[in-house]
Structures are given as structure tokens and as C-alpha cells.
Chain A
Amino acid sequence: MSTMTDPPKADFRLSMLINDTRYRSLTFQVIAAIAIALSIWYLGNNLIQNLRAAGLNISYAFLGETAGYDVNQRLVEYNSQSSHGRAALVGLLNTLLVAFLACITATVFGVIAGVLRLSNNWLVSKLMAVYVEIFRNIPVLIWIIIIFTIMTAVLPAPNAFRGENPSSSMLFDAFAFTNRGVYLPKPEFANGLFGSTALNWLLVIAALVGSWFATREIGKKATKKQEETGDRPNTTLLTLAVWIVPFVLLMIIMGLTWNVPELKRFNFSGGLNVGGPLIALWFALSIYTGAFIAENVRAGIQAISKGQTEAAGALGLRSGRIMNLVVLPQALRVIIPPLISQYLNITKNSSLAIAVGYADITATLGGTTLNQTGRAIECVLLLMLFYLTASLTISMVMNVYNASVKLKER
């Protein structure tokens, strides 16, 4: 009888580094590490030599220097004497503004088009299919330029509003649509509770958020009552009151007035000016991304089995309520992950603002500032850092939301 013994442990040989699976991955990683270190050394060395030859260094001091250029669309105080850093901040806020607005409208367009594409109405569904195909297959840059061209070519110039018998007139004497942008009445507080406008607006937002929480509480209470007694109390009036009363009170206390735009010598002044480039970019991004979202929504709805719709129909729900109460809540789970990447796309595509002259961060920091100071490396690095941060933040926030609507499986 033979006894089983372990085979003798082989001594380490050099060939085992490539032939033995235990060591091979280590070999490869060491090779990779060396290759990366070498290429970083090579590129860094080139960079240092090139910078020395050009007499440059890496420094971010230019951010504190006077920018000397003007930005027409801004959310914070800025003039041509402000610093490059301030200009970058203005651009950053402008990027966030257009991305935020476009995300909202693109979702609205997308959901409407996606639902209508599945409509029983043959004409409507075909029309939506044409919309989706046309917008998905033509570059967004072309759409942005086309819509900007429509705005500047079709809308009247400010001087068309002038004279005894003007060719254009203001809507309700308060809204002016011109090729330089849209002028709206601007709400202002005559006796605000705080000195700064921003704080007053924060207060208004806080009041609205409070109303939203109160509405949720009312809804929860009503559901609890319904579960106990079977009757759902009518909360419509209470909800309306919770929304309206604090808001109106706040407006009266702070003395809301409207600053209506007026035609001055060359242009409108006063009021709130939403520039043409912003509107063009906003609209183009929403309608372009809307086409993509429509496809996601359609796919999400079609992923819900027909039995769900039929079961809801058997319960006696009307088609509108079937959509709202049964299909969409389930479809949302399928729709949200691609929706996140569409929001990221909007944020990244907003960098095309440079094509229509909207002062986003690519146009201020990556455009004028870069050209004036010649600090290419620093500007591009800052730009990338900003977009990376924005992308990661958006996907983090949306992933949290995704986790909250995900099907809870046990």
C-alpha cells in the first residue's frame, strides 16, 4: 500500500514569475507600476523642460488679478475690475443655473413625449417618434446654434418697441421678448427682514420648504386616519392654506413690489433680464436631452408587464390614474438610472455655451481668462476639477434617490 504524501514544495525559480499563476499577477503589476512611473517621469520631465523653455511656471496667483473683461449674465456682483477668480465663480454659477433649469424642463419634455409616444393615438405617437429620432440624430451643437439663430433672427430688436405705433408691444405691459433676451418683471422687497436680498430670498425658500413638510405631515395623518377608519378626510383646503397663507403673509410683511422693465434710450432697463444665449442654451439642451429621456421613459413603461395595466383596469381605475398610480411608480425604478446619466450629460453639454456666448465656466475660465493670462495648464485643470466634482455630486445625489425608490427586496 502506498501512502499519499504532499508533493515536495518546489523551490522558487525565476521562471515561476511568468509561468506560475501565484506569482504571475504580481509580476504584471510590478511591470505596470514601473511602466507608469516611467511614463509619469517622462511626461513630467517634458513638462518641466517645456515650461522652462517658455519661461512659465505653475502658479494660481492669476486668480487674484484683475480680470478686465465684462460678463453680461451674472448671478453675483461682478464688474470688469473684479478678479479672475470672481469671473470663474460667475461662470460656475451660470453653469449650475443652466444645468439646473435644463434638467427640470428636459424631464418634463421627456416624460410627456415618452408617454405620448405610447399613446393609442396613431398620429400623436408617430409625431413623437419623429421628434425623438430627429433630435437624437443631430448634434446638440447644431441645435444650440439653430435655436440661438431663431431667437436672434425672429424676435424683434428692442427699438421695435419704440414710437407712436410700435411694430412690437410688451405682453401685459410687463414682459418684453426681444432678440437680446427676455425682460421680465423682477420681484423686489421694499422692507425686507434682512439687509441683503439673498437672505430675504432664502427666507422665502425656507417658508416654501416648511409648507412642503407640513403638506407631507397632513398627507401622513390623512393616510393614518384612512387606515383606522376607512374614510380619508378631505385635505385639499388645509393643504392649500398651508401653502398660501405663510407665503402671502411673508410677501405682505416684506412689501413685495414688481420692478417692471422699461424701454430706455437703446434698450430695456430695470426688471429681470434673461439673456438670449441663456434661453437658447436652456431650450436647446432641454429639447435635445428630452428626446433621450423620452426613450428612457418609453423603455421603462414598456418594461412594466401588461398585466399590471390590466389589473388596474379591472379595479376600475381610469387610464390617467392607471398611469399615475400603477405604471409610473414602477417604471420609475427602471427610468432613474439612465435619467442620472442624462442629467450628467446636460451638465457636461452645458459647456457648449461657448458656442453662443453664454458666460459659463468654460467660457470665462477656459475661454477669456485662459486667453488673457496664457495659464493653459492651470485653467484646464481647474475646469476639469469643477466638472468632475459636479458630475460626482450629481451622481451621488441621484444614487441616494435611486436607493430610496428601489424595490425593497428581502
Chain B
Amino acid sequence: MTDQTTNPIAFVAEGTIPPAPPPANETGIVKWLRDNLFSGVANTVLTLASLTLIYLLLKGVVPWVFNGVWDASSLAECREILAGKSGACFAVLSERWPQLIYGFKYPADAYWRPNLAFVLMLVAVAPVLFFDLPRKMLIFTALYPFIAFWLIWGGTILAPLVALVGFVVAGAVFQKLGKNSFAAGFFGAIIVALVVWKIGGALIPEGASENAWLPAVPSRDLGGFMLNMMLGVTCVSLSVPLGIALALGRQSDMPLIKWICVIFIEFIRGVPLITLLFVASVMLSYFFPPGSSVDLFLRVMIMITMFSAAYIAEVIRGGLAALPRGQYEAADSLGLDYPQAMRLIILPQALKISIPGIVNVAVGLFKDTTLVSVISMFDLVGMIRGPILASTEWNGVYWELFGFAALLFFVVCYSISQYSQWLERRLATDHR
């Protein structure tokens, strides 16, 4: 009893007990490993198999890369330096670098021209890709094709200037006439541009390219990765407007226009790019006026542009079909005519939906530019398979060269697809 009166309660908690730490295997890295890697027999087996695979790969690749020889003049010399160790012979990359990038005929003292064109391309493309940049930069983007043409091909500056003037005059005519009728403006612009080019072409003096400030480089001297980049960039940018026109044509109410577009698109999509390149290399010259010689680069460009335009048209058609019917009806009820409705209401939305698809086509097309090596143009793959592997010094350096080509393409294509994902998030204006 006395105990109870003096100390009636043995213990009184004065605060909450601090929570005990969870058991060691339910927390931190151990738990993560158990959940994600060893959560069952099957999972453990998979994990161990993957670890073995990674180990085997690294065991082969890491010493090969780190023992790599960067300074040698032939494969035999590489092997001498390596003295039996496993190692790469990256010397081929450093020695043949200009050939891999510019092709083997581009004049060495003119390498700064494609380099400058490449840097300017980044500047020109930036405002198209990132909307936050000042809109004034688009003026430079519009000028870029002419600058790049002049830098890479050289020759007289008058040729790109005449082309530019043609476009400017055509643009002015379109502004003037297009206010009343889109069709009048459009056809008027085309006719005016053709007239300007005809007159301007006659004005350029004969042999103006002979002693121009930038010596002219013929198209057949272009090569290497530069050729892939040029084909990729030009064909994608030309095929987007063509693809939009084809997609709209396919949706059109006019049966003749519709069927022309359907046949064109389905025909191009049904045949492999290689057969179209064969057309460019052996067949297309039969369809040009007798006596004219259109160079291979231009012919290939025409065919690749048609090829990607057909695919882009299908992507955009998907975007047009995804728009609710109400958008078309709303545009009609506002009293807009067809060109206005398309330009102001339908296309901005449809193109936004189509961006991931267009980027996919662009990546695929850029990868497909390697196919020109089959019709003996010396792009990156053509250079590797042709002049470099056939030379006595570097016969047998497969891994380093194809690894390099694969790496270049991977970097470019992966960045493009990452950009597309960023853009998709950026453009997602609907509430989710």
C-alpha cells in the first residue's frame, strides 16, 4: 500500500518515443536492391545474367579504348606500338579526319568554309527550334540558305544573290496580291520569281565563277559527314512544305487533286529509298532536256526530298485527322476562306500534334542519307568503305571507323529525339 501512495505509477511517459529506425533490410540501398534487383528467383537470375553481360562487354571494350593509339601513320605501326596488347587504332581517325568529315576531294585550304557554314547553321536553326529567342533572328534564317550555298560551293556571289532577289520580289508580290486572293498571290509570286531568275541568270557574265573570291567547288567533290549533314538538312527543310501541300491535297474535296496526291504518296511509300536513288543515278537524266547535265547531288536531293515529303505528308494527315471537326466548322462560321482557315486555325494545331512524327521522319531520313554510298557517292560510310579501307595503310581497321560513324550518327539522332521530347512537353498546352 505504502508503495502505491509514495509511487503510485511506475512510469509516466513525458513525450512520444522517437520512432525506431526500420530494419536494415527495409531501408536505403539494401531495400532498393532487394526491390529492384533481387525480388525473386527469376529476377535474381536476370540481374546476374545482365551483370555478366555488362562485365563481358566492358572487359572487352574498356582496355581496347584506353590502350588506343592516336598517333601512327598505318595499321602496321599501330600494331608495333601496341606490341600484342588489345587496343584500338584511333590513329586512323586523326590521320584521315578531313577525309571523314569533308570527303577526299574538297580543297584543304577551303575547310573553313563548311566549318563556318556549320556554325552559321546552328545560329540559323536556333530561332526555329527555340521560340524564346528574338524573332528578328528569323531574318538570318531566311538568308542562311543563300549564304551556305555560296560558302560551300563558292563561285560567283551573283548566283545566290539573283536567287535571293527572286524570292524577295516574289514575297513582295504575294504580300500585295495575296491580300485579296490567295491563289492570285501564289501564282503571281511564282511567275514573277521565274521572270526575275531568267533575267538575272542572263545578266550573270559568262565565266564569273572563274576568278571569284571563293573558288568554285563542284558538287562531286563534296563528301564525308558534311554530305550527310547537307542532304539531311536540305531535304528535311524542303520536304516539310511539300509534305504539308501533299497532306492538304490528300484531304481535298477536289477528286483530281486528291487522287494525284494519294498516288504520289502511296507510290513513294511503297518502294525502298534505294530504288529512288537508282532512279536519281541512272534514270532521271533521261527526263531532263537533251544536252543538259544536272549534277548527281541535285538529282539525289530531288529524290530524297520527294521520299521524305511523302512520309511527312502522312504524319501531317494524321495531325489533320486528329483535329475535332468543330475546328473546321468554327473556321467556316467565322467567314474565313480556305487558305485563311488553314493558315490561321487548322495548320497551327495540326502541325503541333504532328511534331513528334515529323521529328521521327527527320531522324529516319538523316540515317537514310548513308544509302547514297550505294550509288557511289562518298558520304561518311562511302568514304570508310571506299578510299579509307581500300588504302594500304588502313586496310582492316573496321571497328574504329564504323564505331566512329555510329557514334556520330548516334549523337546527332539522339539529340534530335531528346529535343523533340522537350518540345512536346513545352507545347502541351492542354490540361492533363
Contact = CB atoms under 8 A, between A and B. Distances in A.
Contacts, number: 149
Contact of A123 (B50, B181, B272, B274): B50
Interface residues on B, range: 35 or more
A134 interface: yes
B271 A388 contact: yes
B282 A380 contact: yes
Interface string B335-373: 000000000000000000000000000010001101101
Contact of A140 (B183, B267, B279, B367): B367
Given A124-B47, A384-B275, A387-B275, A47 B287 contact: yes
A392 B267 CA distance: 10
Interface residues of A, number: 52
Nearest to A371: B282
B260 interface: yes
Task: With a 10 A CB-CB cut-off, give which of B184, B269, B272 has the most chain A CB atoms.
Answer: B272
Interface string A376-410: 11001001100110011000000000000000000
Given A120-B39, A142-B409, A383-B278, A33 B256 contact: yes
Interface stretch (A173-181, A258-266, A351-359): A351-359
B294 to A, nearest CB: 12
A290 interface: no
Interface string B251-267: 00111110010000001
Interface string A184-216: 000000000000000000000000000000000
A146 interface: yes
A165 interface: no
Given A33-B256, A134-B410, A388 B290 contact: no
B290 A146 contact: no
A14 interface: no
Contacts of A137: 363, 367, 409-410, 413-414, 417
B410 A18 contact: no
Interface in A127-159: 127, 133-134, 136-142, 145-146, 149, 153
Contacts of A355: 373-374
Contacts of A303: none
Nearest to A383: B275
Nearest to A119: B46
Interface of chain B: mostly helix, strand, loop or mixed? helix
Contacts of A53: 290
Contacts of A80: none
B283 interface: yes
B43 interface: yes
Given A388-B270, A392-B270, A146 B286 contact: no
Interface stretch (A24-32, A64-72, A84-92, A322-330): A24-32
Contact of B287 (A46, A352, A383): A46
A366 B46 contact: no
Contacts of B54: 127
Contacts of A49: 290
A254 interface: no
A50 interface: yes
Given A46-B288, A127-B50, A137-B413, A142 B370 contact: yes
A138 B256 contact: no
Contacts of A47: 286-287
Given A124-B47, A380-B282, A387 B272 contact: yes
A43 interface: yes
Interface of B: 35-37, 39, 43, 46-47, 50-51, 53-54, 181, 183-184, 253-257, 260, 267, 269-275, 278-279, 282-283, 285-290, 363, 367-368, 370-371, 373-374, 381, 385, 398, 402, 405-406, 409-410, 413-414, 417
Interface of A: 18, 25, 28-29, 32-33, 36, 43, 46-47, 49-51, 53, 119-124, 127, 133-134, 136-142, 145-146, 149, 153, 348-349, 351-352, 354-355, 362, 366, 370, 376-377, 380, 383-384, 387-388, 391-392
Given A142-B370, A387-B275, 17 more contacts: A28-B257, A29-B254, A33-B256, A46-B289, A121-B36, A121-B43, A121-B50, A123-B46, A127-B53, A137-B410, A139-B367, A145-B381, A145-B385, A146-B406, A354-B274, A377-B283, A391-B269
15 contacts: A32-B260, A36-B260, A46-B289, A50-B287, A53-B290, A120-B39, A121-B50, A137-B409, A138-B410, A140-B367, A376-B283, A377-B283, A387-B270, A388-B267, A392-B270
